[in-house]
């Protein structure tokens, strides 16, 4: 097993949502799914989390089938269970029900032990003018960096 850490980010989540509170959760995967993730065949731009029977599930993550998989290959767009404490699930479920928050995954990491960890965030949707402000500040920072560079 390799000792390097592999990370994939959901850039669209940072643009569309204001991430209020962050948490790291384990994710239940099949063997062919983890192999496919190591090949980089994952897309979770339109994914979100849902509560089912006091459990947290992530939907919308597309993990392509493993290229060397046999007939026991996984289904690419299935829902996957997140591993969290019951106390954390109850706390976030109250916030989602009361205040209009949503839970979005923003980063998937495979650590040095080979375990997949999904970083999720309690998020609130941005308005159009908030997105424009973010683009404007990012452009200003880029311009200042270029000026200071020369």
- Please report whether residue 105 resides in a domain: yes
> What's the CA gap between 4 and 78, in Å, rounded?
27
- CATH of residue 64's domain is 2.40.280.10
- Which uninterrupted H or E stretch holds 43? strand 42-43
- Please report whether residue 39 resides in a domain: yes
- Please report whether residue 98 resides in a domain: yes
Of the pLDDT bands very low, low, confident and very high (cuts 50, 70, 90), residue 15 is confident
pTM for the model stands at 0.78
Its domain, for residue 32, covers: 6-149
Q: pLDDT digit string (tens) for 98-129?
A: 887 899 999 998 888 888 899 999 988 888 88
Count the domains in the chain.
1
Given the DSSP bridges, would you call strands 6-9 and 17-27 parallel, antiparallel or unpaired? unpaired
The answer on pLDDT for 1 being more than 60 is no
> In the prediction, which pLDDT does 50 show?
92
Mean residue pLDDT of the chain comes to 86
The answer on pLDDT for 3 being more than 80 is no
Q: pLDDT digit string (tens) for 61-86?
A: 888 888 777 777 877 788 999 999 99
- Please report whether residue 116 resides in a domain: yes
- Please report whether residue 65 resides in a domain: yes
Mean predicted confidence (pLDDT) in 8-28 = 87
Encode 3-37: b = buried (16+ Cβ within 10 Å), e = exposed: eeeeeeebeebbebbeeeeebebebebbebbbbbb
- Which uninterrupted H or E stretch holds 22? strand 17-27
- Please report whether residue 1 resides in a domain: no
């Amino acid at each position: 097993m390799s000792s390097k850490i592999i990370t994939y980010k959901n850039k669209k989540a940072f643009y569309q949502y204001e991430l209020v509170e962050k948490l790291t959760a384990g994710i239940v995967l099949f063997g062919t799914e983890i192999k496919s993730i190591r090949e980089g065949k994952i897309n979770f731009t339109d994914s979100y989390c849902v509560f089912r029977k006091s459990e947290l599930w992530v939907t919308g993550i597309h993990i392509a089938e493993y290229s060397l998989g046999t007939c026991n290959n996984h289904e690419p767009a299935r829902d996957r269970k997140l591993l969290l404490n019951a106390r954390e699930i109850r706390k976030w479920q109250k916030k989602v029900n009361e205040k209009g928050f949503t839970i979005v995954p923003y980063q998937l990491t495979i650590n040095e032990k080979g375990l997949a960890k999904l970083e999720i965030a309690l998020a609130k949707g941005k308005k159009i003018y908030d997105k424009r402000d973010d683009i404007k500040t990012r452009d200003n920072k880029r311009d200042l960096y270029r000026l200071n560079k020369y």
